[in-house]
Structure 1
Amino acid sequence: SEAQAATIEYVLDQKRRERPDLDRFFSEDRLSGFFVKNLENVQGDERDIMIFSIGYGPDEMGKITMNFGPLNKEGGHRRLNVAITRARRRVEVVSSLRASDFQPTNSMGVRHLHRYLEFAERGMSALALDISDDRRDAESPFEEEVLRLVTSWGFLAQPQVGVADYRIDIGVRDPARPGRYILGIECDGAMYHSSKVARDRDRLRQQVLERLGWQIYRIWGTAWYRNRANEAARLREAIESAMRGEYHKSRRNPATKIEVQYEELDFEQPPGWAQEYVVCKPRARSFYSMTDPAARRYLEEGIEQIVAVEGPIHIDLALRRLRTAWGAGRAGNQIRSSFESALLAVSDRGAVKLDRYRFLWPPQMGTPPVRYPSGDPESIRRIEFVAREELDLALLRFIQDARRIEEDDLTFSVARLFGWHRRGPEISQGLDDSVRRLLDSGKVRRDGGYLVAVDDEPISQVSQ
């Protein structure tokens, strides 16, 4: 919140008075300097390293109210997403709370913060099993009976914890930290024990879950119904042992641990479907000025070279390349007239194609390449100098890679790819228009708060 940001700034100022030798680290440069901002006004800023300070914690009575200011409001999860994606290289999290301190809540923003802290604490393994507060029903009468018994003992239990193939029948929560599960209970009916395939599959599944920190207790339905009292006593002892932190010591046949392999991805690297932008450097005939009629053929050659290398390229950008090559200054009426005459001749003989948005295309090009800036400053293009087909394709490829992605994540990723570190009004509008075109074309659809690709077909040059 603003109050917490102001407090941090005040303490920093006090410390800086004691250490004036550190002042050089507190530059106020707009693009690379130090800043302290709150969750609601940090959008658009990026730094190599961000310190994400969570200024909330237990009150004087030790109670956690689950009130996280702007995160609890509508769209709070989007504010959190903006905050945690400001770092180019690393986020340092400073928090008085752990993920296990969180209580169940209906706030999407707070639930996302809980998952983020869980990831910060446990790393990649936290992503393998999505623990949400969604209330699901037990899937069999056997599970319902076990659940009723566990809750009658005073334990906090929830059916169907997790997602997809890694859902656990019943999860028993830690009463001291309701955000943490101390034991997973699997209820295996008679059909389960009659299928060797099911047993083998679940044995591997259990090994994965235990490798990720879960403690699993299995109940065989036949044994439960034959001797319910004995099986109930064993279950209660397992839960109480787990609460004391002793469950793993009492197990007779612990599952063999497996090695989980992770693939490290460098998110600073551009995606494989994009390529580096190459700037054309046409050779000028310096003994002719651009407005000299004798320069006409050389202007035509220059236009063909530029389009072959940089197409699709906006007319104004192509003219700039020629002016740079000739060492010409501002594009006055005479220079522009000479350029347009040469362009008309090149276009009439089919050497380049001109679309209605004033982009020049190589004659045989259908699907344009998606291009990101190289080390050449001239390779950074304003959004109006990026053909809409290229921009739309970049958005579509990111959606296909992610399978499903929030719109703000999408536009942030595309802006970073094209080298736009600040999303001003023009860039934001251009990206929003691109999303709308993809939705209107049927290539992308909305799924709740996410965008999903309908198919994997590339975008061709359809808007000419």
Structure 2
Amino acid sequence: MTVDSGPAPWSRPYQEVDPDLLAEVRDRSSSRRGMWGVELQDPEALDVVADVALCVVEVEGPVEKEVIYTRVRLAWGLGRAGQVVRDRIDRALRRLLKQGKIVHVGTAYDRPGHETEFARTPTERCARRVAEVPVVERQLVLRNVVDEGPGVQREDLLREAARFFGWARLGADIREALTGDIDALIAAGGLTESDGGLMPVEGP
């Protein structure tokens, strides 16, 4: 199977939320609440943090929490996310979930009713580690690679999926995550595995 025939129809380059947009959302939200210049660590800032986090999910969903931490702290120009910052963002995410503005998709967050139709390839600005790629997206790649090359062996499938996400080598964390994804797809009846490799399960 060759990957050189241009990008797959089920893939898109990763679209990262614009940091300027996040700063704008932060300023608009804080001035609307009469809290201009509020710090991310401030307990009063919860609604403002929630507005910024919601903006990240709307643009990048499904998106893992680690990526949300990074985006939100950058909106405040913070170099790293310490425990207090993570705690603030966690509380904001919990509030958004409770309000029904975002939903859980596995360990990732997404907007309600959003179907994951595309897996996203790395760009110069945004390359994600395996833990930063939602399971639903990794499984989409695995399923599509098997659909396009039925009978693919597990090792080749792992390599193909890793290449899709821009990972040059199969580190232990990548291998473990993708192997778990393949096993989950088999358990859910999406794929079958035999000596002849992995095959898609034809729907009724």
Please state which band the TM-score falls in when normalised by the shorter chain: 0.7 to 0.9
CA distance in 2 between counterparts of 1:310 and 1:433 reads 24
Which consecutive unaligned segments of at least 5 residues does structure 2 have?
Answer: 28-35
Q: Closer, same or farther in 2 for the Cα pair 1:382/1:427, shift >3 Å? A: same
Query: Which residue of structure 2 lines up, in the alignment, with residue 330 of structure 1?
Result: 80
Alignment of 1:10-409 (within 5 A): 267=4, 269-281=6-18, 282-283=22-23, 284-285=26-27, 287-355=37-105, 357-367=106-116, 369-376=118-125, 379-409=126-156
Residue in structure 1 matching 2:200, options 431, 439, 453 = 453
Output the CA distance in 1 between the equivalents of 2:102 and 2:56: 10
Q: Structure 1 residues 266, 381: CA separation in 2 closer, same or farther (over 3 Å shift)?
A: closer
Q: CA deviation at 1:333?
A: 2.7
Secondary structure of 2:156's partner?
Answer: helix
1:342 maps to amino acid: A
Instruction: Kindly report the root-mean-square deviation, in angstroms, between the aligned alpha carbons of the 2 structures.
Output: 2.3
Paired-residue identity, %: 26
- SS of residue paired to 1:409: helix
CA drift of 1:447 comes to 3.8
Mapped partners of 2:87, 2:174: distance in 1: 30
2:107/2:134 contact within 8 Å kept: no
- Structure 1 CA distance, aligned partners of 2:192 and 2:127? 30
- In 2, Cα distance between equivalents of 1:445 and 1:341: 41
C-alpha distance in structure 2 between counterparts of 1:340 and 1:298, whole Å: 13
Alpha-carbon distance, 1:398 to partner: 0.7
Supply the AA of the counterpart residue of 2:119.
V
Structure possessing the higher radius of gyration over alpha carbons: 1
**In structure 2, do the counterparts of structure 1 residues 418 and 298 end up closer, same or farther at CA, with 3 Å as the change threshold?**
same
Contact 1:388-1:434 at 8 Å conserved across structures: yes
8 Å Cα contact 1:312-1:368 kept in structure 2:
no
Aligned with 2:152: secondary structure?
strand
| Bigger relative contact order (CA 8 A; separation at least 6) | 2
SS at match of 1:416: helix
Q: Is the 8 A contact 1:368 1:389 kept in 2?
A: no
TM-score, reference length from structure 1: 0.39
Q: How many residues align?
A: 191
Q: Larger strand proportion, structure 1 or 2?
A: 1
Superposed displacement of residue 438, structure 1: 1.6
Q: CA offset at residue 344 of structure 1?
A: 2.0
CA contact (8 A) 1:291 1:338 kept: yes
- How far, CA to CA, are the matches of 1:388 and 1:275 in structure 2? 17
Secondary structure at the counterpart of residue 47 of structure 2 = helix
1: CA distance between counterparts of 2:183 and 2:83? Answer: 37
Counterpart CA distance in 1 for 2:15 and 2:149 is: 27
* 1:56-79 deviation line (CA, Å, top 9, x unaligned): xxxxxxxxxxxxxxxxxxxxxxxx
| Contact 2:10/2:117, CA 8 A, preserved across alignment | no
Q: 1:307, CA displacement in angstroms?
A: 0.6
Q: Relative to structure 1, is the Cα distance of residues 302 and 329 closer, same or farther in structure 2, using a 3 angstrom cutoff? A: same
Q: Which contiguous aligned blocks of 4+ residues in structure 1 show a shift greater than 4 angstroms?
A: none
Corresponding position of 2:182: 435
Structure 1 residue 328: Cα displacement: 1.0
Could you give the per-residue CA deviations for residues 125-155 of structure 1, whole angstroms, max 9, x where no partner exists? xxxxxxxxxxxxxxxxxxxxxxxxxxxxxxx
Q: CA offset at residue 456 of structure 1?
A: 6.1
User: What amino acid does structure 2 have at the position aligned with 1:318?
Assistant: I
Q: Secondary structure at the match of 1:354?
A: strand
Report the equivalent of 2:30.
none
Residues 266, 320 of structure 1: CA spacing in aligned structure 2 closer, same or farther, 3 A cutoff? closer
TM-superposed CA distance for 1:336, in Å, is: 2.0
